[in-house]
Structure formats: structure tokens, C-alpha cells
Amino acid sequence: MIHSSKWAPRLYPYNGDIAPAEIDRLQDLTGDITLNREKIKEIGNASTIDWRKRIPSLRLTGRQLEYGSLEFWRKLANKPDSTISLDLDDFKSSMVDVCGYKTDDDNTFLGTVQYPKMRLSRFGLDIGDPEAYIERSFDLVGENEIIWENANKYFIYRKFTASGGSDEDFTISDGGTTYPDPIEDPDNSSTYLVRVLRVRGTTTTELVEGTDYTYAAGTLKMTVTTTVVGDVLKVYWTAGSYITGEDPFTPNTVDSSALSADMCSIYLATTNYLYKVQSVGIDATLERRDYKEVGSSSIVQRGVKDNTVTITLGRMLESYTIEEVLRGVGGETYGKIDARKYEDDISLVVKVYSDDTKSTFKCRYDFSNLSPTGDSANVPVDEYITRNVTLECDNCTIKSTDV
């Protein structure tokens, strides 16, 4: 059997010269693939005569403890480590391969499950109650699941930088001294490399074997037809062993283990600190539009039609501070709050700190142009009254700087 402690999750960003990384503080991960197969039948025949195999659809859902680092968000957005601010547009065209490296209870490595070209379709931030951990959640969508096993059980990545020229050679492996030799794809004779990406400036291109490059198994050399100085080539293959001296998962002992509700501050309309808040639920959905084309069985265009961010603030009812802010009369002595006159340009900020003293800032989630969409009260018998406010916008910015 495979225990979760021996299932090593790793991300491989598709676009740009971005290094892979493990997925830290992951609490659960669920993959659900629908093969989208359709029966073909005919009049006069009680049996199925064939199946039409459509493009599968895959949904990968995960949950992390908030640990105050932007690394995971940067990898999902295919952005470099120098990035200190991300918004929803940064996830429109980004893709990642999610790989799980599997070892059984006898410490025998069994293989790698690969979810290729996954795109972010939703993420959330949840603070369930005043004593809860802050949790992140995410949904990724794609079209395939590949299990690499036996001689092909390890998924390998290596980066090269081109000198520029025609038919430039790159030695992919060194016979296992550091990098293991590529093993032939069992489904594709004479194919040894899973994928070759070229990063030229800000453009990432997937190269075509036989046209853009060739690979000779006897010499372990990849020959790229044309390169320019500084081209970055990202090469992926499978092998029977991993990279010498490396491990697919290196535990993060630097960042916080988990951050809790008492380590955050919530501000409405920029400066109004919210008291008595019992829960915070944030859900950001990217309405993806992925298109096929006649003559191809692949997704050829990927985009996002619209974004919807929904925020729910739950609290014990003591005063109407939130409603006053929504009405635009916060801090004033005002005798009437008419829900029809709530404003629709509200901001909300969730700041996260390293501990409950809030002396060391870690990250923040910013939302603007929020419009209230619901305000409900619950009056149960023999209990205190609670009130939930729901707001909606189309933007979210995640920052590692407190500005």
C-alpha cells in the first residue's frame, strides 16, 4: 500500500524559465478523470458496436494549510521567484504538470502519476472559526492522467541553455552518474522524450520531434534544428531511476507550519478593522473556455471568459459596523441603514502574519470593487444571533508585500 507520507507531490510549471518545486503543506489531493466515452449502437443490433473516445476531462482538487508563502501561487501562475504580486489574469494562460511520486510501505518506489497541462479554475481561502487554521483550496482542470511505472517509473526534468546556431546538440543524460538515461515510451516506438519546451524571451513553445528536434538514443544527444543565444530548453523524460543526489520532495523547514485565524487581520473599505468576525470564506472562480478544432483531438486554445470572486463574512451580531461601511456611513452617527443604498465599490483586505502578535507580515489577499449581494441574519431559539454578509467582485491580488 501507498501511505500519503510516501506520495511526493511536485509541480512543473509549463511557461517560462521557472524551476519545479514540491507542493508544501498539502492536506489532501483528489484526482477525478471522466473519459467521456460514448456508446455507438444501431437499429437491429442489441449490442454496442463501438465506443467513441472523446477528449477526457480531469479535475484535480487540493487543500493546503496557509503558510504565508507565495511560492505555490507563483508556480501555478508560471511566474519567477522575484514576483511579489499576483492577480487573477496571471493564471489565464499558465499551466503546470502535477506529479505524484509513489513509494510503498516497504520503501519500494512504484511509479509516478502525471497530470499534464493543468490549469487553475478555482481557488479559495477559508477561515472556519476563530480557532481554525487558515486553509487554501484549489481546483485544476486538464485532459489526462498518465501513470509511469516499471522501467519508466520516474518522471525527470532537466534544463539547458542554448549557445545559438543550427543543429545544436545537447547531451540529455550522463549514463546515470547524475541524470538517468531516457527510456523509450512504451506507446510510441523510438520516442524517448516526453516533452521539449523552448523558452525564448517571454514565449514558450512546445517543440515537435522530427521537425524542431531529434533525439538519438545511442548517443543520448538531442539535436535542435535552430536555436538563438539564451534559448532555454526544458526537457522531460522517464527513467528507471531518479536524479542522483536529489529527491522529488524536500520538506520545507523554513516557512511556517500552519497559520491560524488569530494570526490575520481583516479590513473593510481599506481601514475599517473588522471585529467579532467568526468566519471568512473566499471563493475565486475562473470561468475557463478551452477550445478544440476540426481535425484535431486536442485542446488547441485555452482562456478565461470571466472571473467571479465571492466573499462571505460571518459574525456574531453586536453592532452594525459592517452594514454602516457598506452604506458608506462608517464611523458616523447615522440613524438609518437602507440595504438598497449599499455601495458597490468596497475593498477588503485579509492580512496574514507569522504569529498572533502580528509583528511579522507574511502575505495578504486584496479585493476591490466589491458589491454586497446578500446580508442574512439567523435568530435561533436560546442562542446568540449571527449575521452573514456576502460580497462579490471579479478580482483578487495576492501579495508578499504589505502595500
Q: Using H for helix, E for strand and C for coil, what is the string for 44-78? A: CEEEEEEEEECCCEEEEEEEEECCCCCHHHHHHCC
**Torsion angle of the four alpha carbons 186, 1, 142, 287, in this order, in degrees rounded to the nearest 10:** 180
Please provide the CATH number assigned to the domain covering 261-399: 2.30.110
Q: What is the pTM of this model?
A: 0.92
What mean pLDDT is predicted for residues 127-132? 95
Q: How far apart are CA 237 and CA 343, in angstroms?
A: 55
Give the pLDDT of residue 300. Answer: 75
Predicted pLDDT of residue 332:
67
Residue range 320-343: mean pLDDT, rounded: 83
Percent of the chain with pLDDT over 90: 78
Side-chain half-sphere exposure of 113, counting CA atoms within 13 A: 15
CB 398 within 8 A of CB 73: yes
Confidence class for position 351, pLDDT limits 50, 70, 90: very high
Residue 376 or residue 200, greater confidence: 200
Please report the pLDDT score of residue 400 as a whole number.
Answer: 96
Contact 287, 307 (CB under 8 A): yes
Give the pLDDT of residue 331.
64
Q: Kindly list the distances between the CA atom of residue 111 and the CA atoms of 2, 117, 125, 154, 217, in Å, as whole numbers in the listed order.
A: 11, 19, 32, 6, 22
CB of 62 within 8 A of CB of 29?
yes
> What number is the average pLDDT over the span 255-280?
92
CA–CA separation, 11 and 158 (whole Å): 14
Q: In angstroms, rounded to a whole number, what is the distance separating the alpha carbons of residues 99 and 9?
A: 6
d(CA 18, CA 31): 24
Q: What is the mean pLDDT of the chain?
A: 93
Query: 296: Cβ–Cβ under 8 A, 6 or more apart, which residues?
Result: none
Determine what percent of the chain is predicted with pLDDT higher than 70.
99
How high is the pLDDT of residue 50? 93
How many angstroms from the chain centroid is the CA of residue 122? 9
| Domain boundaries of the chain, sorted by first residue | 158-239, 261-399
Residue 175 pLDDT: 85
Q: Say how far apart CA 196 and CA 180 lie, in whole Å.
A: 17
| 90: its cell numbers | 496571471
Q: What is the structure's pLDDT at 174?
A: 92
Query: CA-to-CA distance for 351 and 358, rounded, in angstroms?
Result: 9
